[in-house]
Amino acid sequence: MVFKLKDSVNQRVEHRYDHFTKLYIKREDKIHPIISGNKYRKLKYNITFIKSQGYSTLLTFGGAFSNHIAATAEAGKVYGIKTIGIIRGEELQTKIEENDTLNYAQSCGMHFKFISRANYREKNSISFIKSLKKEFGLFYTLPEGGTNEHAIKGCEEILTEADKEFDYICCPVGTGGTVAGLINCSKPSQQVFGFSALKDDFLQEDISKFVTKNNWKLNLNYHFGGYAKVNEDLIRFINKFKKEQSIQLDPVYTGKMMYGIYDLIEQSFFKKGSKILAIHTGGLQGIKGMNKLLVKKGLHVLK
């Protein structure tokens, strides 16, 4: 990979709930400004595979603020791979200019196809893929969120040998690829907690398919109503966290996870004296778009 990457370091996070539980955050958000955090990890071996197989085009799927779409477009630009984004929501077709994520992806050369929400639900069907092949010719398909075997292999590199000192590894969950990689590279003595960013009954099953251990749990208590749903409480938490820790969290994934971790520490959920490592999976490119929505709704914005 030719990306210029910065190191991801573990940074101590202060919390005032008890003096015994130590919380650290792994700054995966720092490794690259666009292909940040887990999206770099998920693309790494996919790009290697695409190159080795001689594909010239990559097709993938995502929504209006998708970090995956932004990261894939950037990776395509860097590696000279044509990228096609199948985007959820036909109404976005005329709103590319005002959507920072899509605007950015387009500037990287991504070609879009906008489809309705109903069609998007059927995006993996054989007939739809067939129609895409007819329209675009030969391409490599990367599933929504970039999750596949290659992605999980990349995410197995997030934890280092030094991280074995942690009792708990916490991570936000969208499609489950990142947490699956973390589970696979965790020590059996460690507990891995995935914090779901969405309401989804199949996640547990999806993750199970990819993992080799059972030292993990999926927490469904902090999705705030579903994917990209936020409330004032969450926005306030993220802004306060930034002020106190000088760390920006995103409202879709890492903000919800950290809210959950603080809440669980307060409830003495974690063993006394334990060390927790939370993964900052990035996603900061989506903040501008979220703020536009918050302004429209007359709510407080992310500072």
Ligand X SMILES: *Cc1c(COP(=O)(O)O)cnc(C)c1O
Q: Which residues bind ligand X (CB under 6 A)?
A: 37-39, 67-68, 145, 147, 172-179, 250, 253-254, 281-283
As a whole number of angstroms, the distance between CA 55 and CA 27 comes to: 32
As a whole number of angstroms, the distance between CA 117 and CA 63 comes to: 10
Max CA pair span of the chain: 61
Token couple for 113: 């196809």
CB of 200 to ligand X, least distance (A): 11
| Residue nearer to ligand X on the CB measure, 217 or 271 | 217
Q: Where is 178: in which H helix or E strand?
A: helix 177-185
CB of 252 to ligand X, least distance (A): 7
Q: Where is 153: in which H helix or E strand?
A: helix 149-155
| Residue nearer to ligand X on the CB measure, 151 or 274 | 151
CB of 18 to ligand X, least distance (A): 27
Contacts for 52-56: CB closer than 8 Å, 24+ residues apart: 53/140, 55/81, 55/138, 55/139, 55/140, 56/81, 56/82, 56/138
| Residue nearer to ligand X on the CB measure, 189 or 212 | 212
| Residue nearer to ligand X on the CB measure, 190 or 254 | 254
Burial class (CB in 10 A: 0-12, 13-18, 19+), 19: exposed
| Residue nearer to ligand X on the CB measure, 93 or 221 | 221
CB of 284 to ligand X, least distance (A): 8
Q: Which residues are CB-neighbours of 269 under 8 A, at least 6 positions away?
A: none
| Residue nearer to ligand X on the CB measure, 260 or 282 | 282
Distances (CA, A) of 256 to 121, 122, 178, 242: 25, 28, 16, 14
As a whole number of angstroms, the distance between CA 206 and CA 143 comes to: 13
Burial class (CB in 10 A: 0-12, 13-18, 19+), 128: middle
| Residue nearer to ligand X on the CB measure, 114 or 195 | 195
Which among 84, 80, 45 is positioned nearest to 61, based on CA atoms? Answer: 84
Closest residue to ligand X, judged by C-beta, is 283
CB of 272 to ligand X, least distance (A): 29
CB of 263 to ligand X, least distance (A): 19
